[in-house]
Chain A
Amino acid sequence: MKTKSSENNAITKAIGGKEGLVALVVLAVLLLVVLPLFLSVFRLNLTGKYLSYAFVAVGLVMCWGYGGILSLGQGLFFGLGGYSMAMFLKLEASDPESTKIQTTPGIPDFMDWNQVTELPTFWIPFKSLPATLALVVVLPIVFSYLLSVFYFRGRVGPVVFAILTQSMVACLWYVIVGNQGYFGGINGMTDLKTLAGWDIRTEEAQRTLYFVCVGLLLVSILVCRWILATRLGRVLVAQRDKEERVRFSGYNISSFRIFIFCVAAVISSIGGALFTLQVGFMSPNLIGVVPSIDMVIFAAVGGRLSLYGAVYGTLLVTLAKSLFSESYPNLWMFFYGSLFIVIVILLPKGLAGLYQDYLRPWGAKLIDFRKRRVPVQKETVTSQEGKA
Chain B
Amino acid sequence: MGEYTFQEIYSIIVMQSFGGVSLACIYVLMGLGLFIVFGQMGVINMAHAEFLVIGSYTMCLVSKFIAENAPGLLNYYFIFAIALAFVIAFGVGYLVEWALISRLYSRPLDTLLATWGLSLVMQQCFRTFIGAREMSATLPSWLMGSWAITDTIEVPLNGILLLGLTIALTASLIIFLKKTRLGLRMRATTQNREMSGALGINTKRTDRLTFAIACGTSGIAGAFFTTIASTSPTAGTAYIVDAYLVLVVGGLGSLAGLFVASGFLALLSSILEFFMAGSIAKVWLYVIIFAVLTKFTKGLFSERIRS
Could you tell me which A residues sit within 8 Å of B by CB distance? 64, 70, 72, 147, 150-151, 154-160, 162-164, 166-168, 170-171, 174-175, 177-179, 289-290, 293, 296-297, 300, 330, 333-334, 336-341, 343-345, 348
Chain B residues whose CB sits within 8 angstroms of the CB of A348 once the complex forms: 107, 110
Residue of A nearest to B103 (CB): A345
Complex: A168 Cα to B280 Cα, angstroms: 14
For residue B74, CB closer than 8 A to chain A, the reply is no
In the complex the two chains form, is A171's CB within 8 Å of B280's CB? no
Chain A interface, DSSP helix/strand/loop, else mixed: helix
* A158 CB to nearest chain B CB (Å): 6
Residue of A nearest to B120 (CB): A337
Complex: A158 Cα to B107 Cα, angstroms: 11
Chain B residues whose CB sits within 8 angstroms of the CB of A340 once the complex forms: 113-114, 116-118, 120
Complex: A229 Cα to B117 Cα, angstroms: 33
In the complex the two chains form, is B241's CB within 8 Å of A166's CB? yes
What are 27 of the A-B contact pairs (CB < 8 Å)?
A150-B293, A150-B294, A151-B293, A154-B294, A158-B108, A159-B109, A166-B244, A174-B279, A174-B283, A178-B278, A178-B280, A297-B113, A330-B127, A334-B124, A336-B117, A336-B120, A337-B117, A337-B122, A337-B124, A338-B117, A340-B113, A340-B116, A340-B118, A341-B114, A341-B118, A344-B104, A345-B114
Chain A residues whose CB sits within 8 angstroms of the CB of B114 once the complex forms: 340-341, 344-345
In the complex the two chains form, is B109's CB within 8 Å of A158's CB? yes
Chain A residues whose CB sits within 8 angstroms of the CB of B117 once the complex forms: 336-341, 344
In the complex the two chains form, is A174's CB within 8 Å of B113's CB? no
User: Which of B108, B116, B286 meets A167, CB within 8 Å?
Assistant: B286
Chain B interface, DSSP helix/strand/loop, else mixed: helix
Chain A residues whose CB sits within 8 angstroms of the CB of B289 once the complex forms: 167
In the complex the two chains form, is B280's CB within 8 Å of A174's CB? yes
Instruction: Give the size of the chain B interface in residues (CB under 8 angstroms).
Output: 46
In the complex the two chains form, is B293's CB within 8 Å of A333's CB? no
User: Which of A160, A290, A330, A344 meets B248, CB within 8 Å?
Assistant: A160
For residue B297, CB closer than 8 A to chain A, the reply is yes
Residue from B123, B237, B297 having most chain A Cβ neighbours under 10 A = B297
Complex: A150 Cα to B297 Cα, angstroms: 8
Known: A156-B297, A341-B100. A177 touches B279 (CB 8 A): yes
Chain A residues whose CB sits within 8 angstroms of the CB of B290 once the complex forms: 147, 164, 167-168, 171
Complex: A138 Cα to B103 Cα, angstroms: 41
Known: A156-B297, A174-B286. A333 touches B124 (CB 8 A): yes
* A265 CB to nearest chain B CB (Å): 16
In the complex the two chains form, is A174's CB within 8 Å of B282's CB? yes
Complex: A156 Cα to B237 Cα, angstroms: 24
Complex: A118 Cα to B113 Cα, angstroms: 44
Chain B residues whose CB sits within 8 angstroms of the CB of A162 once the complex forms: 44, 109, 112
Chain A residues whose CB sits within 8 angstroms of the CB of B128 once the complex forms: 330
* A251 CB to nearest chain B CB (Å): 20
Chain A residues whose CB sits within 8 angstroms of the CB of B199 once the complex forms: none
Residue of A nearest to B117 (CB): A340
* B56 CB to nearest chain A CB (Å): 20
In the complex the two chains form, is A159's CB within 8 Å of B108's CB? yes
